[in-house]
Amino acid sequence: MRTAFGVETVRAAERELMARLPEGALMQRAAAGLAAACAELLGKVYGSRVVLLVGSGDNGGDALYAGARLARRGAGVAVVLLAPERTHAGGLRALRAAGGRVSAAPERDIAGARLVLDGIVGIGGRGGLRPEAARLAGLAAASGAFVVAVDLPSGVEADTGEVRGPAVRADATVTFGAYKPGLLVDPAQERTGAVRLIDIGLDLPATADLEALQYADVAALLPVPGAGSDKYRRGVVGIAAGSARYPGAAVLAVAGALRGGAGAVRYVGPAADAVIDRYPETLVHAGPPSKAGRVQAWVVGPGLGDDAERVRDVLAADVPVLVDADGLRLADRATVRARTAPTLLTPHAGEAAALLGVDRAEVEAARLASVRRLAEAYGATVLLKGSTTLVAAPGGRPVRVNPTGTSWLATAGSGDVLSGLAGSLLAAGLSPVDAASAAAFLHGLAARLAARGAPVGAQDVAEGVRGAWREVVAG
Ligand SMILES: NC(=O)C1=CN([C@@H]2O[C@H](COP(=O)(O)OP(=O)(O)OC[C@H]3O[C@@H](n4cnc5c(N)ncnc54)[C@H](O)[C@@H]3O)[C@@H](O)[C@H]2O)[C@@H](O)CC1
Ligand SMILES: Nc1ncnc2c1ncn2[C@@H]1O[C@H](COP(=O)(O)OP(=O)(O)O)[C@@H](O)[C@H]1O
Ligand SMILES: [K+]
C-alpha cells in the first residue's frame, strides 16, 4: 500500500524526530537524497548548469544544501533568491563555500540551465505562487530545463491536491519523509512529474490520510473460486440498467460484471434482448428487480433513463447496492442514508456536482474535499471518477486513490463497465471500499493494456479486464 500524509502529520513526525537528532540533520538527509536524485537525472554532474529557485523557508534550505552538494561535484550552480533577507542562512553559506553563486541575471541563468530546482515553497506554502515566484516558474517552464520540485511543486496545496493559482510544473518531484496527498490527486498530481520519495526516517502513524492500492494489495482482494465453490457461492450480481433508448449501457454493465468474479449475472430491465444477444450466459428477468431472484449485490443506474421505480425497488433490497449514472439522479438521499446494507455511489464530476449543488469545475478543482463531503452527506461509500479516481467512506477513514488509469478511459460507456465490475466484486463479498478500489484499479489497468497509446472503446476496456486481472495476480 502506498500511503500519503497531510502536512500536520508530517510536521509532527518531523518535530518528534528533530528532537532526537543533531540540529540540521533532517535537512541534510533531505538534501542528500535530493542531490543524489538530481545527479542521477543529470547523468554528468560536472559542468552542468543548475539554477536553484529559493524562497524564504526550509524548502529553499533543502535546495541550497542540495545545490552545494552538486557544486562540490563540479556543477555550475546559481541561485535566484526570492526573499534575499529571509533566505536560509546556513544553506546559502554552504552553497557559497562550495563555489555556488547568487544569480545577477536570473533570466539568463534560467534560460541556460539544464536543471532548475524549485525550492520556492514546500509544505509551508499557502495558495498559488505570488507574482515574482510565478514569473520565475514561467521562465523555468519556457527554458527547456528539467524542473525538479523540492518536496512538492510550489503553488500546489499539499493536503488537497488543489491548485488555486499559478504553480510550478515539474518534470520530477523529490519528496521527503512521506507522500503528501497533493502528489497523488489532480489537478496537483498532473504537475509533479515522476515522484521519488526520500526516506528521512520519519515515524508516521498507522492510519494515513490517503492510500493507493498496489498490485499485491489488489491481488489479495480478488476473489478466487475454491474447490467447493458453485455459481451461487461465488455470488450473484444483479444489474438494473439500460432502457429502450440506452440498451448499450446494460450490455456494457453486464460485460463488466461478467469479468468481476461473481458466479452469475442477473439482468433486469428492457434491454434483455440486447444483453442476451451479446452475453447469452446472463440470467434475464422482465419484472421488477425484487422479483428477479436472489442476488448478493445490485448495480442500478447505467442508461436507466427516468425509471425511478426501479431505483426505489433496488434500494429496498437488503444487499449491497451500487448506484451509478441515472440512478444517482433518481436515488433519494434519505432513502440511501436509511439503508442498513452498504451503498456505493459512483459519480463522475458532473454527477457529483449535481448531488452537492456546486459547479462541476469546483468538484474537479477540489476532488478530495468533494468525495469526502459526498460520502458524509449520503452515509455511503463514494467512488468519484475522472482524472484521479478517489474512493471515500463516511467516518474519516483514509481515502483511496487509484494509481492506474489513463485518459483514454474518457470514452462513452467505460463507466458502465466499471459499475458492473465493481458490482460483481461486491457480490463476491468485498467491502464497498475494497470493491470500488479494486474495480477502479483493474479498470484503469485494463484500459492501459487495451489502449497501449491508441484510442479504446468501452468494450475494449471490458475485454481488457481479464488481462489486467492476470497481471495483478502475477504481480
Ligand atoms: N525542518 C526540517 O528540518 C525539514 C524541512 N523540510 C523542508 O521544509 C519545508 C517546509 O519548510 P517551511 O515550513 O519553512 O515552509 P516553506 O519553505 O514550504 O515555505 C514557507 C515560506 O514560503 C512563503 N510562502 C508561503 N506561501 C507562498 C506562496 N504562495 N508564494 C510564495 N511564497 C510563499 C512564506 O512566506 C514562508 O516564508 C518542507 O516542504 C521541506 O522541503 C525537509 O527538508 C525535511 C526536514
Ligand atoms: N481524464 C481522465 N483520466 C482518466 N480516467 C478518466 C478520465 N476521464 C474519465 N475517466 C474514467 O473513464 C470512466 C468514464 O466513466 P463515466 O464518466 O461514467 O462515462 P460513461 O457514463 O460514458 O460510462 C471512469 O472510469 C473515469 O474514471
Ligand atoms: K517546492
Q: What is the chain's percent helix, strand, coil content, to nearest 5?
A: 45, 15, 40
- What pLDDT, on a 0 to 100 scale, did the predictor assign at position 458? 98
pLDDT digits (tens, 9 = 90+) for 17-49: 999 999 999 999 999 999 999 999 999 999 999
pLDDT digits (tens, 9 = 90+) for 418-459: 999 999 999 999 999 999 999 999 999 999 999 998 999 999
Percent of the chain with pLDDT over 70: 100
**φ and ψ at 76, to 5 degrees?**
-90, 105
Alpha-carbon span 87 to 143, nearest angstrom: 24
Is it the case that residue 373 has pLDDT exceeding 90? yes
Q: At residue 430, what is the residue type?
A: L
For 13-135, where are the E strands, in sequence order?
49-54, 76-81, 101-102, 115-119
Cell of 458: 468501452
Q: How far is the CA of 154 from the centre of ligand 3 (A)?
A: 4
Alpha-carbon span 298 to 315, nearest angstrom: 9
Q: Which residue ranges have their beta carbon within 6 Å of ligand 2? A: 325, 348, 385-387, 389, 405-407, 409-410, 412-416, 418, 443
- What pLDDT, on a 0 to 100 scale, did the predictor assign at position 376? 98
Domains of the chain from N-terminus onward: 2-211 (3.40.50.10260), 215-474 (3.40.1190.20)
Q: For residue 6, what are the CA distances in angstroms to 141, 150, 228, 395, 453?
A: 28, 16, 45, 17, 34
Say which ligand is closest to the CA of 422.
Answer: 2
Q: Choose the residue to mutate in 53, 121, 123 for probing ligand 1, maximizing ligand atoms within 8 Å of C-beta.
A: 121
Mean pLDDT of 112-121: 98
Cβ(362)–Cβ(353) under 8 Å?
yes
Say which ligand is closest to the CA of 439.
Answer: 2
CB-based contacts of 445, cutoff 8 Å, min separation 6: 404, 464, 468, 471, 472
For 179-289, where are the E strands, in sequence order?
194-198, 210-212, 236-240, 264-268, 283-285
Cβ(422)–Cβ(346) under 8 Å?
yes
pLDDT digits (tens, 9 = 90+) for 185-243: 999 999 999 999 999 999 999 999 999 999 999 999 999 999 989 998 999 999 999 99
pLDDT digits (tens, 9 = 90+) for 10-19: 999 999 999 9
Whole-model pTM: value is 0.96
- What pLDDT, on a 0 to 100 scale, did the predictor assign at position 246? 96
Cβ(368)–Cβ(342) under 8 Å?
no
- What pLDDT, on a 0 to 100 scale, did the predictor assign at position 15? 97
Mean pLDDT of 273-294: 96
Is it the case that residue 396 has pLDDT exceeding 90? no
Mean pLDDT of 278-298: 96
Q: Kindly state the helix (H) or strand (E) to which residue 103 belongs, with its residue range.
A: none
Alpha-carbon span 268 to 287, nearest angstrom: 7
